[in-house]
Amino acid sequence: MLWGGRMTPEAEIAKGIEGMGYATCTPRLIRPSYYRVNDGAGTTIRVLFVANHVVPAPDSPDGFTISYSVHISAYVPKENRRPQDFKVGRQDNVASGTTDFDVDCEPLSEDFSVYDSSNGMVVSIKAVAGQINKTEFFTPDGEPAYAVDANPIMKVKRD
């Protein structure tokens, strides 16, 4: 990518990261998984695994590993938000404040996000929630905090 006759700042950064031995991942299609939680508040949970990079791993059966991060959000109708229940400094271990274990939920959407890797691979990754636990904690905006046990389902192929 050119920017004023030279690489964009993002492309320069990516080249530097690739020079460290990583294959960078660029999103092609982002599709989070969504779950309707049966918590009486109308909560929808969004779970997204983001492919960060591919790392050579000679000891791995495939010769590489995929680094990823998980992003979890809860969406609650505004009439059910409780910002007054947010407590500063009390959320250091969300799982320890579990009030409802294994809350029933309905999958609304589970699909693959797709990333192009700089080494020519296409990485597809889907989030699948296994267990959702409601906690006593709330975000500053009043959304309840959930501890979500999710697993990535991955497919990798050459482009």
The per-residue pLDDT for range 3-47, each reduced to its tens digit, is 556 778 888 898 899 999 999 999 999 999 999 999 888 999 999
Q: What is the DSSP letter of 115?
A: E
The whole-angstrom separation of Cα 59 and Cα 123 is: 20
For position 79, what pLDDT does the model report? 94
The per-residue pLDDT for range 45-79, each reduced to its tens digit, is 999 999 999 998 889 888 889 999 999 999 999 99
Please count the CA atoms within 13 angstroms of the CA of 73 that sit on its side-chain side. Answer: 10
Checking if the pLDDT of 156 tops 70, the result is yes
pLDDT classification of 87: cutoffs 50, 70, 90 = confident
Instruction: Return the closest-CA partner of residue 141 out of 95, 92, 96, 74.
Output: 74
For position 50, what pLDDT does the model report? 96
The per-residue pLDDT for range 99-111, each reduced to its tens digit, is 878 899 999 999 9
Checking if the pLDDT of 136 tops 80, the result is yes
Checking if the pLDDT of 1 tops 70, the result is no
Both ends of the chain: CA-CA distance in Å?
A: 20
For position 91, what pLDDT does the model report? 53
* pTM of this structure: 0.85
